[in-house]
Structure 1
Amino acid sequence: MLSLRKTELRDLGFVCSLESNEENAKFIIPWSKEKHEKAIENTDILHLIVEDSQWNHPVGYIIIAGLENPNLNLELVRITIGEKGKGYGKESFRLIKNWVFTKHNANRLWLDVKVNNMRAFHLYKKQGFVVEGTLRECLKNEKGFESLHIMSILKSEFENQDH
């Protein structure tokens, strides 16, 4: 259904448009095109496009950091999917967890999620992520402060899941 490929400079218009979409922007901290360009060039970061395999049409993107981390901990910096409710997020997680734990041989995959992003929070829990703690009021915005949940999944937990 979906495939992953490395993001190319020509993809950044799509990436930035997804980030500026009102539904997505309230749950992430959008990056500039220049920041995405630097991430693509950074050997510690994997910047990926999620594509519909049948049509080779981009449906989202994923950013993973920590490829050079000696402790084998990777951070899921961002996953943003354009069309909601089609199972793209679930399938993207299946692909990325398989890569993280099988190909890269990481021990831990972690992320942070805004506490008010219930759709993502429930998706992460269904994907086996466990809440490790909450960074209370750590982000300032125009309305005040927001908190982040820190969540992770370990390789041993991934290996005990049905894939």
Structure 2
Amino acid sequence: MLLFRPTRSDDIPFVMVTESDEENSRYVLQWTAERHEQATKEADTGHIVIETIGERKQIGYLIVAGLQNPHHSIELKRIAITEKGKGYGREALKLIKQWVFEHAGAHRLWLDVKEQNARARHLYESEGFIVEGVTRECLKNGDSFESLVVMSMLRPEYYRAERA
């Protein structure tokens, strides 16, 4: 259903619109176009556009960091999907797990998610991510603070789930 490809300079406007979408912007930290452009050039970062197979329609993007981490720990820094409720987020998550563990040689895939993002937390848990803890009130949002839930999956957990 989906394929990944590296983000190009001409994709940055799509990334910016996706990131600033009302549903996504509540849960995704906002970067400038320049910061996204910079990330596309960093060897330690994968900035990826998610497209549908066939029509090659852009439906989201993701960012992974730590590709050169000596501890083989890769962070799913961001995933943003434009069309909710179609299974694109789940499939993209499955594909990035496969790539991280089977091709990038990671031992650990981790992420943080805003505590109030129940939809994403449910997806991550249903895909085998384990809650490690909460980074309490670490993000300032207007006059209040938000907490992040840290979740991860280890290589043996990924392979056990794939065999089940």
Give the TM-score normalised by structure 2.
0.97
Partners of 2:50 and 2:161 lie apart in 1 by 23
Aligned to 2:151: 151
Give unmatched runs, 5+ long, in structure 2. none
Aligned to 1:25: 25
Give unmatched runs, 5+ long, in structure 1. none
Deviation of the 1:56 alpha carbon:
0.5
Partners of 2:63 and 2:135 lie apart in 1 by 21
Deviation of the 1:40 alpha carbon:
0.3
Identity of aligned residues (%): 49
Aligned to 2:139: 139
User: Could you list the per-position Cα deviations for residues 39-92 of structure 1 after superposition, in whole angstroms to 9, with x for gaps in the alignment?
Assistant: 001100000011001211110001000011000000000000000000001110
Partners of 2:40 and 2:110 lie apart in 1 by 20
User: Could you list the per-position Cα deviations for residues 114-143 of structure 1 after superposition, in whole angstroms to 9, with x for gaps in the alignment?
Assistant: 000000000000111000000011111114
Deviation of the 1:162 alpha carbon:
3.1
Give the TM-score normalised by structure 1.
0.98
Q: Which amino acid letter does the alignment assign opposite residue 21 of structure 2?
A: N
Task: After TM superposition, list the pairs within 5 Å mapping 1:5-154 onto structure 2.
Answer: 5-154=5-154
SS at match of 1:160: helix
Say how many residue pairs are matched. 163
Q: Which amino acid letter does the alignment assign opposite residue 141 of structure 1?
A: N
